[in-house]
Amino acid sequence: MKLAVTVGDLNGIGIEIALKAHDQIKKLCHPLYIIDQSMLQQASQRLRIDIPEDFETYPCGESFTLQPGKATKESGRYSYDSFLTGIALSRQSIVRGIVTLPINKEAWNKAGIAYKGHTDMLADVFSQDAIMMIGCEHLFVALFTHHIPLKKVPGKIEAKALQAFMQTLYQEIKEEKIGVLGLNPHAGDNGVIGDEEKEISKAIHAANEALMQEVFVGPLVPDTAFTSSMREKIRYFVCMYHDQGLIATKALYFEEGINVSLGLPIIRTSVDHGTAYDKAYHDKNPSTLSYINAVKEAVRLAIKRKKFRI
């Protein structure tokens, strides 16, 4: 199975991770690295890491001089071009999916790229919202809202939109039980602390009715949703906003976590860490675990899509 690996910000740790993990990744899939040879050789020389003979590449973007540990417009543009090329290859079915290494939002901004990140770009390219799901095999959280100010979240919680989100999520993951968190402390205490849970309850009821089974449970009290006893029963949760889910996943499974974009015509998974400029090209030996898990999940999703003909 061929997967595109977009190399992210070349001033960060992504390319080092790709080179060091290649022997493990090629046992899982046939990786196609979206980087031209001149940039790969420049990174290889700086890292003092040999390029594997079977490290297959696909060209993109304009070459530039690396500035390790810095957010530059050149590195931002190159990471954007790598991702755009990966999307094109996936749409043409040349690859079965995309695995993305980390980009830097500041570098994208310096390059004049309007998107805040991969997920926003995917939503625009495909003219449909992508579901952002973060975690690992022990715990996954799907974010109903993600990169918006916290003060705007309550206004986004509307039963019909949340129901559609939950049904799309179920169709993608086919999980028997999915927890849905409330927004307010104590899940609103029956309206004493807030009434957004009324919309959440309506959405849960409507989604379960449409699916003709009790898949979604809640609204759950946010401060107890991720206890070990709860996670023994439920592994997947719908969270109302970014930090409600990510604080738990990153506290519990930081190095293992991945980012998955669901509800799109293509498969995209990613590492769930940043460019780590402080570690880039400094022989800090960054962990490859998140990257390997992202590849495993992309392979799993590709097999599942073929099985269910999604």
Domain boundary pick from 208, 235, 255: 255
pTM to 2 decimal places: 0.87
- Residues 162-213: pLDDT tens digits? 999 999 999 988 899 999 999 999 998 888 899 999 999 999 999 999 999 9
Looking up residue 202, the CATH number of its domain turns out to be 3.40.718.10
Residue of 233, 22, 241 lying closest to 151 (CA atoms)? 241
Q: Indicate whether 43 and 148 sit together in one domain.
A: no
Report the C-alpha gap between 291 and 232 in whole angstroms: 25
Contacts of 297 (CB under 8 A, 6+ apart): 258, 260, 269
Q: Indicate whether 101 and 177 sit together in one domain.
A: no
Average pLDDT on 89-103 reads 96
Does residue 306 register a pLDDT over 70? no
Is residue 310 very low, low, confident or very high in pLDDT (cuts 50, 70, 90)? very low
Q: Domain total for the chain? A: 2
pLDDT at position 101:
98
Q: Indicate whether 177 and 124 sit together in one domain.
A: no
pLDDT at position 308:
47
Q: Indicate whether 215 and 310 sit together in one domain.
A: no
Q: Indicate whether 169 and 211 sit together in one domain.
A: yes
Report the C-alpha gap between 264 and 57 in whole angstroms: 25
As given in the structure block, the two tokens for residue 136 are 């690992």
Q: Indicate whether 112 and 167 sit together in one domain.
A: no
The helix (run of H) or strand (run of E) holding residue 180 is strand 178-181
Q: Indicate whether 17 and 108 sit together in one domain.
A: yes
- Residues 212-267: pLDDT tens digits? 999 999 999 999 999 999 999 999 999 999 999 999 999 999 888 999 999 999 99
- Give me the helices (H) in the chain, please: 14-25, 37-47, 73-91, 105-110, 118-125, 153-156, 159-173, 196-211, 228-231, 242-253, 289-308
Q: Indicate whether 132 and 145 sit together in one domain.
A: no
CA distance to 40, 71, 91, 144, per residue, from 80 (Å): 16, 13, 17, 25
Q: Which residues pair with 4 in a beta bridge?
A: 32, 98
Q: Which domain holds residue 216?
A: 139-255
Report the C-alpha gap between 52 and 26 in whole angstroms: 11
Report the C-alpha gap between 23 and 64 in whole angstroms: 27
Report the C-alpha gap between 255 and 140 in whole angstroms: 14
Q: Indicate whether 310 and 244 sit together in one domain.
A: no
pLDDT at position 11:
98
- Residues 1-29: pLDDT tens digits? 999 999 999 999 999 999 999 999 999 99
Q: Indicate whether 131 and 261 sit together in one domain.
A: yes
Give SS3 for 141: strand
Q: Indicate whether 146 and 264 sit together in one domain.
A: no
